[in-house]
Amino acid sequence: MIDLKLIRDNPGYLDEALKKRGQDELSVTVLKLDQENREIIKELQTIQEKRNDKSKKIGELSASGKSDEAERYKNEVSNLKEKLQELEVKQRKSQKKIDDCLSRIPNIPDDSVPVGDETLNEEIKVEGKKKKIDFEPKEHFELGENLNLMSFDKASKISGSRFVVQSGLLAKLERAIANYMLDLHTSEFGYEEISVPILVKDQALFGTGTLPKFADELFKTTNDYWLIPTAEVPLSNMTREMAVDYSELPKRFVSLTPCFRSEAGAAGKDTRGIMRQHQFYKVELVSLTSEDKSYQEHERMLSCAEEVLKRLDLHYRVVVLSSQDMGFAARKTYDIEVWLPGQKAYREISSCSNCGDFQARRMNSKYKENKLSKFIHTLNGSGLAVGRTLIAVMENYQNEDGSIEIPDVLKPYMHGVDLIST
């Protein structure tokens, strides 16, 4: 949530930020709503003062035996009470208009973010080498189906499109990838593993900026719970409506959860395979930190996500997303894109975003430093998307006969299996 005071003090700053996002100016609209609300509040205060004065006068008149005059004042107080009630309703509606308007304004991009659309995303590093494959590589779904370990037909009969049934050693490999990531992030990088609910309330999604803007991209139950699109939602809300001490920060959390998305990408794109699914697993990293450590923590989170790919010996690149390609709540985002030989393309496998205090304002999540209360800075990133990591392993470690070798770091999790074959 954007600070209303910031808009009052510097409306041009907001409009310039929205311009970077490719959106229309909003400061005039916000300030008009704000002025209307402040006038109502001023009127409320004036009437309340009148009511208090007249109520005090009633006691004085009654004490002096002027009952008729006291009765007249009672009637005036009663009328003022009714007026106050009307104004309070009006003010609540006015405040809701402001809150609704502010809730739909995206975060302000950091000055280091490239300005423009996705064509201006900036590559900042390339790591590792593409594996030498001297045959025509297959895509992951060809490999999985040929091994009889990946079935979209079975999933379709159960749940429809954008679902998959994985079995045998391929299911085990997916679980091995997830467990490896969890162990790495907890044992070496200091993240605390958290088991979180996958059903959440409106306010949790509002806190992360997912609601109200992205309601159509989510799954909702019949009793008003939402299925999480990512563990970022419950993890970022861990200090909701709390004020922690500066010494407790940063808090670093990691969680493995299923994720659910009603919107599964552009129509006609990635219709085959498991690149875009309604349900998938992801290892999510979330950091809650102080303002002075925010950017440092962002670089650290990126390095933790990268390390997973380095140890899997997978070629990848890192890009900084442009102002119009970033997520709603992000101030700055790094995307990690892994090389997929079957697709002959780089594909996103992780997004690491610094949201600044944007989400914390929506969650009233604070920390105390030298008796001052400040909003926490929240950061989130995939560490990694499990299904997409499975894709990367399958396509990069495939053999000409369609078998799949197991990367060295995953072999302990496969309990002696070093090759998946027919």
Active site residue 351: yes
388 labelled catalytic: yes
Q: Burial level of 249, CB count in 10 A (0-12/13-18/19+)?
A: buried
At residue 148, what are phi and psi to the nearest 5 degrees?
A: 60, 35
A 10 A CB-CB count for 125 gives 12
Tokens of 175: 């679980």
Catalytic residue among 236, 294, 323, 351: 351
DSSP state of 398: B
DSSP letter at 163 equals -
The answer to whether 166 and 149 are in contact (CB under 8 A) is: yes
- For residue 151 the two structure tokens come to 């079935």
List the catalytic residue out of 21, 162, 276, 300.
276
Whether 380 contacts 352, CB under 8 Å: yes
Has 276 been annotated as catalytic? yes
Give the whole-angstrom CA distance, residue 211 versus residue 377. Answer: 19
- Residue 254 and residue 305 in contact, taking contact as beta carbons nearer than 8 Å: no
User: Cβ(128)–Cβ(311) under 8 Å?
Assistant: no
Active-site hit among 21, 261, 331, 362: 261
- Given the residues 21, 51, 362, 388, select the one marked as catalytic: 388
Active site annotation includes 261: yes
Give the DSSP letter string of 89-133: HHHHHHHHHHHHHHHTSPPPPPTTSPPSSGGG-EEEEEES-----
Query: Among 325, 329, 382, which residue's Cα sits nearest to residue 357?
Result: 329
Residue bearing tokens 């996103």? 348
Distance of CA 75 to the CA centre of its chain: 54
Residues with a known catalytic role: 261, 276, 348, 351, 388
